[in-house]
């Protein structure tokens, strides 16, 4: 059973139907890239997975999304734990309006982790036991450090953990967002054009992070940059005008696309 699978998912904003009966299984522990020209419904698809679409007015969703076999759109579904399972990176990084430290600690605090749970979480993450510092919030300090390290941000921010996160550069903010998402122990990461606001170097860092994380997480990345898709994808989903045109393992997708539109898109004839 795959973590995430979509069955006949159709989504409309009012009368405007933007996704047409999409069905696809998203493979575990791989990087799945959703490509397609802008406006084709990539963001909508991504946000339908963790029900962020609920925040929009008059969205209607038909079909279903199964996460670990549970239908997300079941009225009885537990949206909070569902969202906790799916980490999310937005197109432009939005640090929460608090310090760098609190950005990471926010998730665990909201979910009311006990001291023991925090210690356990760090152990799971680092794969080794460690000494909890004998001070107030000692375990949380270690947790924050671990995730900042995991996102490759620790060395840059360790001396200013208490300063507002909004003072970081955009590239650092996106890595902070990644660390923040990971800190609630998601099973998958959803990223919506996570590098489009970043400079090339920061973008490269993010891509490197994804490749590093793919062994432990299912990663879904939306992008409209073909070259990025080629660099990071294990599996590719191609959307065109709200329709799922083709999907498959990256190698065969790029080498021998089956659909005419895919071929045209890959060769740059349509964009």
Partner 1 sequence: MRSRRLEEQIFKGLMIASLTLVLVVLAGIIFITIYKGAPALTLSMLTETPKGGYYLGKEGGIANAIVGSLYLGLGASFCALLLSVPVAFGLQKEYTGWRFASFTKLVLDVLWGIPSIVYGAFGFVVMAYFGLRASLLGGIIVLTLLMLPIMVRSMEEVIRTIPLELKEVSYALGTTRIETTMAVVLRQALPGMVTAVLLAFGRGIGDAASILFTAGYTDYIPRSLFDPVASLPLAVFFQIGTPIPEVQERAYASALILLLIVFVVSIVSRILSHRFSKHIVR
Partner 2 sequence: MKVRRFKDSLATTFIRASLVFVNAIAFVIAITLFMKTRPILAKTTLSHLLSSTSWHPLRGDFGFFPFIIGTLEVTAIAMILSIPVCLLSAIYLSEYAHGRFRGFVRLVVDILAGIPSVIYGLCGVIAIVPLVRILGQALGSPTTGYSLLAGGIILAIMVSPVITSVALEVFRTIPRAARENSLALGITTWEMVKHVILRSSLHGIIAAIVLGFARAFGETMAVLMVVGNVPKVPLSLFDPAYPLPALIANNYGEMMSIPLYDSALMFAALILMVVVGGFSLGAHLILLKIERRGYV
Ligand X SMILES: Nc1ncnc2c1ncn2[C@@H]1O[C@H](COP(=O)(O)OP(=O)(O)O)[C@@H](O)[C@H]1O
Binding region for ligand X (CB under 6 A): 13, 16, 18, 36, 38-44, 56
16 scored as a contact of partner 2 (CB under 8 A): no
Residue 13 vs residues 53, 55, 133: alpha-carbon distances, Å: 10, 12, 51
Helix, strand, or coil (residue 12): strand
Per CB under 8 A, the list member of 23, 81, 120, 169 interacting with partner 2 is 81
Q: Which does 3 bind (CB under 5 to 8 A by kind): Mg ion, partner 1, ligand X, none?
A: none
Residue 112 as a binder of partner 2 (CB under 8 A): the answer is yes
- Residue 90 interacting with Mg ion (CB under 5 A): no
Which residue in 132, 135, 137, 131 sits closest to 102, CA to CA?
137
Least separation in angstroms between residue 83's CB and partner 1 is 4
Q: Residues in the site for partner 1, rule: CB under 8 A?
A: 47, 50, 52, 55, 57, 80-84, 86-88, 90-92, 94-99, 106-107, 110-111, 164-166, 177, 180-181, 184
The strand ranges marked E within the chain are: 4-13, 16-26, 31-35, 59-67, 70-71, 86-89, 188-192, 218-222, 235-240, 243-249
Q: How many residues of this chain bind partner 2 (CB under 8 A)? A: 4
The smaller minimum CB distance to partner 2, of residues 81 and 169, is found at 81
What is the Cα–Cα distance from 248 to 89, expressed in whole angstroms? 24
| Structural contact between residues 87 and 156, judged by C-beta atoms closer than 8 angstroms | no
Q: Which does 112 bind (CB under 5 to 8 A by kind): partner 2, ligand X, Mg ion, none?
A: partner 2
Taking the complex as a whole, how short is the minimal distance between the CB of residue 112 and partner 2, in angstroms?
Answer: 7
Establish if 43 lies at the interface with Mg ion (CB under 5 A).
yes
Which residue minimizes CB distance to Mg ion? 43
Minimum CB distance to partner 2 smaller for 109 or for 160: 109
The 10 Å Cβ neighbour count of residue 167 is 12
* Nearest distance from C-beta of residue 16 to ligand X, angstroms: 6
> Which two three-digit tokens encode residue 132?
């909890």
Selected range binding Mg ion among 35-43, 102-110, 155-163, 168-176, rule: CB under 5 A: 35-43
What DSSP string describes 55-97? GSTTEEEEEEEEETTEETT-TT--HHHHHHHEEEE-SS----S
Single out the residue of 56, 60, 68, 80 in contact with partner 2 (rule: CB under 8 A): 80
Q: How far is the CB of 112 from ligand X (least distance, A)?
A: 32
**Nearest-CA neighbor of 211 among 226, 233, 183?**
233
Closest CA to 17 of 64, 61, 72: 61
């Amino acid at each position: 059973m795959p973590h995430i699978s979509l069955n006949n998912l159709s989504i409309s904003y009012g009368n405007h139907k933007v996704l047409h009966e999409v069905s696809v299984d998203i493979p575990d522990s791989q990087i799945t890239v959703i490509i397609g020209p802008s406006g084709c419904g990539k963001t909508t698809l991504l946000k339908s997975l963790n029900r962020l679409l609920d925040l929009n007015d008059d969205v209607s969703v038909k079909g279903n999304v199964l996460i670990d076999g549970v239908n997300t759109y079941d009225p009885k579904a537990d949206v909070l734990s569902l969202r906790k399972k799916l980490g999310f990176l937005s197109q432009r990084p939005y640090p929460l309006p608090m310090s760098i430290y609190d950005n990471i600690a926010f998730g665990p605090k909201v979910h009311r982790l006990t001291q023991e749970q925090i210690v356990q979480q760090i152990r799971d993450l680092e794969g080794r036991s460690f000494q909890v510092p004998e001070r107030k919030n000692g375990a949380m300090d270690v947790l924050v450090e671990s995730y900042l390290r995991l996102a490759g941000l620790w060395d840059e921010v360790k001396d200013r953990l208490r300063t507002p996160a909004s003072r970081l550069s955009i590239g650092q903010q996106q890595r902070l967002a990644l660390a923040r998402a990971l800190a609630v122990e998601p099973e998958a990461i959803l990223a919506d054009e996570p590098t489009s606001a970043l400079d090339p170097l920061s973008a490269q860092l993010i891509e490197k992070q994804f490749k590093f994380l793919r062994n432990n997480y299912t990663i879904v990345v939306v992008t409209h940059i073909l070259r990025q898709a080629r660099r990071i994808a294990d599996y590719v989903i191609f959307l065109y005008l709200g329709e799922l045109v083709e999907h498959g393992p990256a190698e065969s997708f790029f080498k021998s696309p089956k659909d005419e539109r895919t071929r045209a898109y890959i060769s740059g004839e349509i964009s």
